[in-house]
Amino acid sequence: MRVRRVVAVSLSLVLAGGALSVAAPAGAAVSTGFAAVVPAPVSAAASGAGYGITSATTIATDSAPVGQYLAAILRRSTGYPLPVKTPSGGSAGIALLLSGAPAQVGDEGYTLDVTGSGVVIRARKAAGLFEGVQTLRQLLPSTVESRTVKPGPWPVPGGHVLDYPRFAYRGAMLDVARHFFTVAQVERYLDEIALYKVNRFHLHLSDDQGWRIAITGWERLASYGGGTEVGGGPGGFYTQDDYKAIVAYAQQRFITVVPEIDMPGHTNAALASYAQLNCDGKAPPRYTGTDVGFSSLCVSKDITYTFIDAVFGQLAALTPGPYLHIGGDEAQSTKPADYAKFINRVQQIVAGHGKAVLGWHDIVNATPLPSTVAEFWDTSTSNPAVAAAAKHGTKLVLAPANHAYLDMKYTTSTKLG
């Protein structure tokens, strides 16, 4: 599935000298009938008659959760019963099978065949069936995504698709720190990025303008630090049960959550909540503007690392995925030598909780651990420090702001909106 265009805020892809990626064949062809599928499949070819979903269609599946997921989407727009059953060898209309897929599709790839008698998606893992279902959704008329019953018809064009990911990490970020979004809104966002086969959800939980996750023992982070946002709105925060619900919803869509607590900069919400995190022992007022680079945890205080250990310890226990994102960007108020010592110490704290570090590319100015991944957000095409880190084995996630941030203008003359 070659990424053809940005589909979500801060969409990011892994680049690690091929270590985490599976390259699509050069010149992979996509026929006109399948040209609307995003990301573009490795290969697709139209052939023969298509299939029409009707009230008699059933879904036979080797993965009950994926089958029920597809049925729920189709039922609300078609009004058809679409019973879900286990494969029995007969004609099902739609079959989702964990057999017969070539080895090259890996864990997330699939084949999709559409003939006059039905639709067959084959994969080696349930994640592959799920991704095949996203392609099926895109091949149907757009009204299939309606949340109310529509009249149809529901044709699927005939043909064959072979698809598997070029990039192992296909991420989308949502900044809930500057502007808070409810659990329901986050779940809607997860639904949208799943349709485009995104498999990592980077959740930006803290910044100068707000702290969005409850931490036991540090309750003012959420109750006070979470009480505002950019422009002075009411803000908000997630309880730990809320966060668990987001993680579970993402898992059902084969998406791994990567939570971010930005530090040592972008920390005014935390500094305003607890005076002892400031070097002068005085809490600043809460902040609702958009400037950056003015805040910093007091990196020389032991209480700072007690705080960090508590935050990442609780997040690690709540997060099944392998990464915790430590931010690390735009720390202009932290001296370079102190910054490097801080990042190195935080990496050890995260590792102590059984997780690997993901951080903005600024962290390469410290000493990345072998398991650490740096996320490149800059607009520059030349960054010697990042290039050197990559040369020495640090894996990179690419999220260049001028290409991957949907709230940025394409050029200075581009109209907003």
Length of the chain: 417
Cross-strand pairs, 323: 356
Query: C-alpha angle 271/273/274, rounded to 5°?
Result: 70
Asked if 295 contacts 265 with a C-beta cutoff of 8 angstroms, the reply is yes
Positive or negative, the Cα torsion across 225, 229, 231, 232? negative
Tell me how far apart the alpha carbons of residues 38 and 45 are, in angstroms, rounded to a whole number: 15
Collapsing DSSP to helix, strand or coil, 206 comes out as strand
Tell me how far apart the alpha carbons of residues 383 and 177 are, in angstroms, rounded to a whole number: 28
Task: Centre a 10 Å sphere on the Cβ of residue 26 and count the other Cβ atoms it contains.
Answer: 5
* Helical pair 240-252 and 183-195, crossing angle rounded to 10 deg: 20
| 356 burial type by CB count under 10 A (0-12 exposed, 13-18 middle, 19+ buried) | middle
Q: Which residues contact 386 (CB under 8 A, 6 or more apart)?
A: 361, 364, 374, 376, 396
Tell me how far apart the alpha carbons of residues 317 and 103 are, in angstroms, rounded to a whole number: 34
Catalytic residue (one of 192, 219, 330, 375) = 330
Distance, C-alpha 226 to centroid of its chain:
23
Distance, C-alpha 162 to centroid of its chain:
24
**Whether 330 is catalytic:** yes
Asked if 360 contacts 327 with a C-beta cutoff of 8 angstroms, the reply is yes
| 292 burial type by CB count under 10 A (0-12 exposed, 13-18 middle, 19+ buried) | middle
Catalytic positions: 330
